[in-house]
């Protein structure tokens, strides 16, 4: 597949422009009380569990890593070393649609059978996941079930939600660092050395 003579960058720049606009929307439409409730749930939990399916699962793992660096007792659902969840713990579930079967089923079990606090990070405020959650953080972005040809051809499926969630959660890490008066040096002390 020869690319010689073809102009590269049109779709790349369109993607970056679209992402920049979505970050602007995120900044304008973030609900501070939702963020405060999320921080409170994290701070009050004995253990923090995070989950998502597919690429949202990768976002959850990235967030879990930073929470560990901040000194929290955090686990990723589905990993072999993940312990039992209890009623004093919080489960943070990430799903753009809020309807991902595995995420909804596990979240329901944690909430209804165990009594754990449940946080939903979703694009869909009226989803099943949001309806069963104690705390809902809504991130405005196109999810995999929405069709918008102007976006779908450069950011397919759930790309914009996943990136918006990653950016939001990294911003939340910065907020938690400030609240705990931590520096990058403090986080380095917990960073992996067996790489």
Q: Is 87 left (phi over 0), alpha (psi -120 to 50) or beta?
A: alpha
d(CA 60, CA 58): 5
pTM: 0.86
Predicted confidence at residue 106, as pLDDT, reads 97
Residue 42 confidence class, pLDDT cut points 50, 70, 90: very high
Cα separation values, 161 from 136, 138, 143, 168, 177, Å? 15, 10, 6, 10, 24
Length of the chain measured in residues:
195
pLDDT over 70 (residue 53): yes
**CA torsion, ordered 129, 135, 139, 145, to nearest 10 deg:** 0
For CA atoms 134, 130, 173, 46, give the dihedral sign. Answer: positive
pLDDT over 90 (residue 189): no
162 is a catalytic site residue? yes
Q: 179 vs 49, which has greater pLDDT? A: 49
d(CA 123, CA 127): 9
Instruction: Please give the radius of gyration of the chain, using alpha carbons only, rounded to the nearest integer.
Output: 18
d(CA 44, CA 142): 32
**4, 44, 162, 188: the active-site residue:** 162
Alpha carbons within 13 angstroms on the beta-carbon side of residue 53 total 14
Tokens of 85: 């969840």
pLDDT over 50 (residue 143): no
Q: Are 152 and 127 in contact (CB under 8 A)?
A: no
Q: Say which CATH architecture domain 28-176 belongs to.
A: 3-Layer(aba) Sandwich (3.40)
pLDDT over 60 (residue 179): yes
Most confident of 15-29, 122-136, 169-183: 122-136
pLDDT over 70 (residue 130): yes
Predicted confidence at residue 153, as pLDDT, reads 55
């Amino acid at each position: 597949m020869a690319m010689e003579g073809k102009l590269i960058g049109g779709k790349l720049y369109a993607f970056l422009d679209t992402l920049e606009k979505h970050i602007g929307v995120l900044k304008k439409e973030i609900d501070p009380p939702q963020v405060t409730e999320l921080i409170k749930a994290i701070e009050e939990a004995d253990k923090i569990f995070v989950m998502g399916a597919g690429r949202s699962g990768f976002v959850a793992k990235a967030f879990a890593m930073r929470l560990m660096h901040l000194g929290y007792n955090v686990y990723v659902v589905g990993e072999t070393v993940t312990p039992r969840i209890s009623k004093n713990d919080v489960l943070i579930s990430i799903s753009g649609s809020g309807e991902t079967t595995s995420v909804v089923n596990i979240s329901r079990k944690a909430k209804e059978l165990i009594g754990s606090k449940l946080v939903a990070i979703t694009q869909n405020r009226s989803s099943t996941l949001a309806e069963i959650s104690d705390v809902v953080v809504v991130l405005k972005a196109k999810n995999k079930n929405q069709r918008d040809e102007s976006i779908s051809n450069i950011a397919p499926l759930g790309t914009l939600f996943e990136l918006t969630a990653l950016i939001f959660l990294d911003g939340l890490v910065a907020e938690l660092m400030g609240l705990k008066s931590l520096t990058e040096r403090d986080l380095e002390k917990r960073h992996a050395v067996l790489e």
